[in-house]
Chain A
């Protein structure tokens, strides 16, 4: 039996507009295991980002509860929460003169003292994060000098340095070319294997997701399906979401052909 690290019960996600609530998905019961690599797939506007943001506690759940290691989100302080979930977001960074090393070291903030002093232990963890993401050679560059692919690796390293059991990534491979897409997915796969972290990636890269993830999370028409790639229910759902006259799912080779 695998350990459940993240669990939602009767969760409803969506937005509040004044007094009205605009639910996107309701009655979500998810059990996410320790150390698994999950990909969240769905069409544009299906609610992928909303789900990810709710799991990251960046927007409040409309209903239901969320738990990490059986602790409800509402019982965790901001600082404790930061020790459990790290994120890689799609938003562009504000203009600054941070170096790669400084950026990754910011990931240590939940553990550092009130002045943010980096100890030798922190340095060790940062070094390790750089090793896993091959960002070591970039460390003294400014982050505004990096290419999109390099920046994404740095942001993943920063999330790693936060030393959390869970990392959530919102479309980490958008604007990247095919080489860098593959590279990012490979790095994430390596991290999940070597560190036993739970990694949840929201993505549009169906084929890469099918190949790399342990389980798939599919969001379509206000319903969420979670399961192994070869399960029939997942297969059917995949066809349901993405099949059209231009693209179809080939069950044998486990990929979409267009």
Chain B
């Protein structure tokens, strides 16, 4: 796409985004008419009481969570791909989501194993998830300093995935039925269990991270030429790394904590965006990834809420159904451009 077409592309995406928000609020076990959705923005007194309740207490929170999740995971994926110079990098592949899961598992199920009464404070799960994400990301980044081969780094990420799975099975073995159930439900992923206060916290974290992103657009562009060229252009690699580090752990950690481990979005969204915009320029790519991420998550959520025998599909199943083919397609048709 040539530079002159970017404004049109963004306008189209914004339009699609608005339509998707309406459809997302509309679809569910009860279909809410579009006019009521519109009125709930403009004049809430016109809206049916029951609809109003569903919209404000259930549908809107879910819609906003979907948007935040799409933005956050997409952006983390983009940062990982640029930093590790690998199209297959992403929070899930590199084991960062697994780290967050381990943090949550320790929080929910670790109590009985360690003999401490678990105090499930309001912020303790997000905090544990962020710490878990932070821990794994630091190990992956330290390994990246030592090992220059990027494939090995991906393998280290995968190993972390298996390691955390093992740890979680041990934890589940020793935990009580209620704790286990709580963890399993968390791991399915759900965009619809958040309170408004939790959404406020998530919004704050995502906005803070996106603000931080502004400061690394320039170094990210330089990193497109590789670390040595970036350094020769006056970029401080360690400072940039710390920035990417904090932003990714915050985003992946908090999103994983609130909505569960969501697969493939972090990997697939940057690719879809790069395909549409055919650019590597982060000033274009970051907003593109944010809006496309939000769009895709909205649709994943909408699909998962299409009433089929009165049950919702787990969101993780939907994202994997979408994401896995994208990865296969990447390997099949773009493999000549994937360097190791």
Contact = CB atoms under 8 A, between A and B. Distances in A.
B278 A97 contact: yes
Given A82-B232, A95-B338, A106 B283 contact: no
Given A95-B87, A97-B278, A115 B214 contact: yes
A237 interface: no
Interface string B220-250: 0110111011011111100000000000000
Given A97-B274, A114-B215, A107 B339 contact: no
Report the interface size class on chain A: 20 to 34
B233 A109 contact: yes
Interface stretch (A23-31, A34-42, A83-91, A250-258): A83-91
Given A58-B232, A87-B229, A94-B85, 19 more contacts: A58-B231, A78-B231, A78-B234, A79-B234, A82-B233, A83-B234, A93-B225, A93-B226, A94-B226, A95-B87, A96-B280, A97-B278, A98-B225, A98-B280, A102-B281, A106-B222, A109-B222, A115-B283, A142-B278
12 contacts: A56-B232, A58-B232, A77-B234, A78-B235, A85-B232, A87-B228, A91-B226, A94-B85, A95-B87, A97-B280, A102-B281, A115-B283
A115 B217 CA distance: 6
B5 interface: no
Contacts of A93: 224-226
Contacts of B281: 98, 102
A112 interface: yes
Contact of A116 (B221, B225, B231): B221
Interface string A63-103: 00000000000000111111101110101111111100011
Contacts of B221: 106, 109, 116
Interface of B: 85, 87, 214-215, 217-218, 221-222, 224-226, 228-229, 231-236, 274, 278-281, 283, 337-339
Contacts of B233: 82, 106-107, 109-110, 162
Contact of A110 (B224, B229, B234, B338): B234
